[in-house]
Amino acid sequence: MSSPSSSEASFILVGGDRGSPTQKSESVIQLPLFITPQHEIHPATHPSADPKYTPGRVPSYAHDWSQQGTGGGLRTHGRHFVDAYGRVCNLRGVNLGGACKTPSNDDNATFPAGHQSVTFVGRPFPLEEAPEHLARLRRWGLTFVRFLVTWEALEHEGPGIYDTSYLAYLRALLTLLPTYGLAAFVSMHQDVWSRYSGGSGAPAWTLELVGFNLQEVEERDGDAGTERENVTPLEESGAAWLRGVRGGGHTEAERGLWPCGYQKLAAATMATCFWAGSTFTPKLLLRDPRTGNDVPVQEFLQTAFLDAWAVLVRAVGDLEGVCGFEMMNEPHRGYIDLKSLHEFDYNTDLHLSVVPSPFQSFQLGAGHPTSVPVYTRSFPMPTSKTGTAVLNAGRKKAWRANGPSGGECVWAREGVWGWAEGQGEGEEGGKAVVLRENYFVKHPLTGKKIDWYTDFYYPFLHAWVARVRGVAPPGKDIITFVEAIPNEFCPPSWTPEQHVPNMVYAPHWYDLNALFQKAFGDFTVNVQGLSRGMFPLKAFYWGQKGARDNFSLQIRNITQAAYEVLGEKPVLIGECGIPMDMNKGEAFQTDDFSWQARMMDAMITGLERSLIGFTLWNYNPFNNDEEGDSWNGENFSWFSRRRALPPSLLYYEQDAVSLDQGARILPALMRPYPAKTAGIPLRFEYEMTTGAFVFEWGVPTQEQKGAAPSASDVGKPTVSSPPLAGHPALSATETEIYVPSLLTKGRKLIVRGLGPEDRYVYDERRQTLFVIPRDNAPGTRHRIEVSLNPPLVPAFEINNFWSDFGARVVALLVVLVGIVVYYFLPGHPV
C-alpha cells in the first residue's frame, strides 16, 4: 500500500495489545498513544439562565453536537441523551454509509481474488469531499452519525496486520466532524459474517483459517452469458451465495436473497465458531502466531476481533467527534439454539429460493449432490415451498484439504452427522444420517440447555466493553451502543447484571413487508404482529394514515419492550430506511418519488411518536439508479452524487440550497424536531403536508444530581409517559428546535401557545427556533403549536380506508338496509 498522504501522516498506528503485531512499514511512525485534544472549557451554566439573556444569543445551533454546542459533549441519563446543561438531546442522523461495506478498489470481475490487498481508504467518501458531505448533513439536520467500519477494512492482509493508511484516513475524517456540528459512534459492521460468505464484515482469512476453500476459484460465464465471473467452491457447494457481492441482486430471481446467507453453511458455521467454538467445535484448533501454540477457534477469532477493536479505539477514541462505539452490527447466533438439523424456523429465518436445512448444508459442503426445497414468494404467507432442486452436481467441497480439519466437514468431525455403518463416505448409495439431532440446543458435554444470549453474547459483550474502555483515553466516558438479533424484541434475559456502562439500546427497524416485496402503496401489513400471532385483519392497514399508524405501532412495540426489560435506558434506532427502487424502480423513469416520500414520512412519524432518536440507512454518495448501493442489490440511499452539482458550484453554509441537489424526498427527511429541550419531551407531532408541528415538554419535578430514576420512582416505564423525576439539574432555560430553512424560505413562522412573558426567535440562517418560557417551575408543562404562513402545498393526501371507500360502504349499507326493509314490509309476498 502506498505511503500515507500528508493528511494521513497526522496519525500513525500504535502497537496493539498483541505484543508486536505486524504493521505496514511504510506507514509506521512512532507517536504517543493519544494526542489529547485541548477542548475549550465550557461553563457549567447555560447563558440562558441569566434573566437578561436574549433568545439565540449563543453562537451554536439546535443540531450542533460539538463540544461548543453541548457545553462539553453528550452523555446519557435515564432514557435520554443529555448535554452538559441537562437538556434532553434528540439525536437524528444517518448511517455513513453503505459504501463502507466494500473496498474502494473492489473489482466484481476478480472477486474474491486479491483479498489481501484491498483498501477501504475513501470509504464512505474521499477525504477531499468531506466538507461537501458533512455540510450537507448539517443542513439537513442529520448530524448524529453511525459511522461504519468493517473488520476487513482494518485487518484484511492477515491476523495482526493492520491497515495504517485506512486508520489514518479514519482519523483525518472523524476529526472534521465537530467543525460541522456532527458527532458519531463507530459501529463494526457485518452482514452474513463476511463479503466472502455473501455479506460484509470479517476478513477472508477468518474463513480460510477455519477451513473454507476460497482458493480453488474457477472462471465461468455469468448467468446471462455476457460476462465472466470467478466462482468459488463455497458457491458450487451451496455454502454461500456470492452473486450479490459481485454486483448482482437486481434481477427478480436474485432480489432479496442475501439474508438467506445467514442459514447457509459458511456464515452459520463462522458465527457458531466465533461465539461458541469452544463448546460446539472443541476439536477445531488454530495455530496462534504469537505463541506457536494451538488454541480453540473461538479464542483465536474473539482475540483477533478484540485486538482489532483495540487498534481502532486507539486510533479515533480520543477525538471530540467520537462519542461511542458499537461492538457488532446485527449479531447472529449461527446454529446455536437450533432445535432441529432438518429445518430452520420459518417465522424467524427467511425462506426464499433454495433453502437447504443444516443437515443438507453439511452434505453439500462435504461434496455430495443433495436435493433441497425451493421457496417462492406467495400470499398471504411471504413464501411457500414450490419444488425441489439438486445442488452441487459437480461434487465440490467447501472445505480445503489443507485446512485444520483436513478437508472434512467440521460438523462431521464433531460427530453431529455421518454415514450409515458399512457405507463409506462417497460410496454409491451411501446414506448420510444425523447423529446428534439436538446438538446445538444443549451443551455437548454437560447436557445443560444452551441460551445464546446468556451463555455467549453477554459474556463477550462484557469482555468487549472492558477492552474498549481499557484502551480509551483517560477521562473519556465512552457510550456503548448495543443491539439484539434483528427483528427480535429486547430479550427478557437482559437483566441489570448484564447491562454495560453507559449503555444505549440501538435495535433496527424496517418494514419487512415493503423490504421483502420492494413495494409500497396504500395497503400495508404489520409483519411484526403477524409473526407474533396477531389476528390477520388487525394487521392490515390502508392509506397514509394507516401506514403511519402501522409503523408507529411496530416502532412503539420495540421501544416499549426495551423499556420494560432494560428500564430507563436510552433507545435509538440504529438502522431504519426505505428502498428507493421500490415499485419496480418506476420512480427512476418518471422522477416521481412520491411513494418513497410517503413511506419515509410514515416511518419517521412512527419514530417521532415514540420520542426516540435514529440513524437512517443510509447516506451513500456512490449510489446510482442502475447499481443502487452496489451491494446485494440494495438501493437505500436518498442521495446520489451523480445527481448533485459539482463542488465548484457549492457553498457550505446551512442556507446553501445548492447542497440539496442530488437528493430525493427531502421534504420527508428535512423535518423540524426538538433537538435540545430544557425539560422532558412529552409529545411531538409533525405534519409534513402543511409544515406544522406540535411540541409538548415538561420541567422535571425534582432536580437531582446523580442516579437515574429507578423503577420504584417511575413505576412501569412506558413510551408515552417518560418520568419527570430524577432528571439532572437543568442549568438552561432555552429550548432549541431544528426548523429547516427548506420549509421557511419565503414563509412566516408562527408560534402559538406561549405566554406574554415567554420569548422566542427563529434564525433561518442557523435553522433554529430558540424558545425561552418564563415559568420553569418544577412540574410545569409547556405546549407550542408552530405553523407556516402560507402553509406548504400538500405533497400527498392523508388518506385512509374511510376517505377512499367510505361513500361506497355507506351506499352499499343503504342498499342492503333497503332490501331488508322491503322484504319485511307488511303485505310483502313471500
Q: pLDDT digit string (tens) for 513-522?
A: 999 999 999 9
In tens, the pLDDT along 267-294 reads 999 999 999 999 999 999 999 988 889 9
The pLDDT confidence band at residue 824, using thresholds 50, 70 and 90, is confident
For residue 204, which of 249, 242, 237, 147 has the smallest C-alpha distance? Answer: 242
Q: Is the CB of residue 398 less than 8 Å from the CB of residue 266?
A: yes
More confident residue, 745 or 423: 745
| pLDDT of 449 over the 70 cut | yes
CB 384 within 8 A of CB 292: no
- Looking at residue 814, its pLDDT comes to 87
Q: Is the pLDDT of residue 506 over 90?
A: yes
**Minimal CA–CA distance to 269: which of 447, 412, 153?**
412
Contact 399, 366 (CB under 8 A): yes
The pLDDT of residue 651 is 92
Domains of the chain listed by start with CATH number:
8-37+90-200+292-332+451-666 (3.20.20.80), 47-89+671-789 (2.60.40.1180), 205-279+333-434 (no CATH)
pLDDT recorded at residue 223 = 53
Which residues, 6 or more positions from 598, have their beta carbon under 8 angstroms from its beta carbon?
520, 544, 547, 668, 796
Residues serving a catalytic function are: 330, 575
Which pLDDT does position 226 carry in this prediction?
43
Q: How many CA atoms lie within 13 A of 470 on its CB side?
A: 13
**Angstrom distance (rounded) from CA 105 to CA 126:** 13
Asked if the model's pLDDT at residue 357 lies above 50, the reply is yes
- pLDDT digit string (tens) for 595-619? 999 999 999 999 999 999 999 999 9
The pLDDT, as a whole number, for residue 709 is 56
| CA separation for the pair 290, 295 (Å, rounded) | 11
**Which pLDDT belongs to residue 668?**
98
If pLDDT is split at 50, 70 and 90, which confidence band does 16 have?
Answer: very low
Give the per-residue pLDDT at 717. Answer: 78
> How much is the pLDDT for 422?
59
pLDDT given at position 221: 63
Higher pLDDT, 109 or 522: 522
Percent of the chain surpassing pLDDT 70: 90
Whether 374 contacts 353, CB under 8 Å: yes
C-alpha distance from residue 603 to each of 486, 506, 550, 681 (Å)? 17, 16, 9, 19
pLDDT at 134: 98
Asked if pLDDT for residue 217 goes beyond 80, the answer is no
pLDDT tens for 668-727 read 999 999 999 999 999 999 999 999 999 999 999 964 444 555 544 456 779 999 999 999
- The three three-digit cell numbers of residue 363, written as one number: 452434505
Q: Is residue 220 very low, low, confident or very high in pLDDT (cuts 50, 70, 90)?
A: low
Has residue 65 got a pLDDT over 60? yes
Q: What is the pLDDT of residues 637-685, one digit of tens each?
A: 999 998 899 999 999 999 999 999 999 999 999 999 999 999 999 999 9
State pLDDT tens for residues 376-395. Answer: 999 878 899 999 999 999 99
Q: Which pLDDT does position 225 carry in this prediction?
A: 45
SS (H, E, C) 7-54: CHHHCCCCCCCCCCCCECHHHCCCCCCCCCCCCCCCCCCCHHHCCCCC
796, pLDDT greater than 80: yes
Quickly count: other Cβ atoms within 10 Å of residue 828's Cβ. 9
- pLDDT(1) > 50: no
Task: Share the mean pLDDT of the chain.
Answer: 91
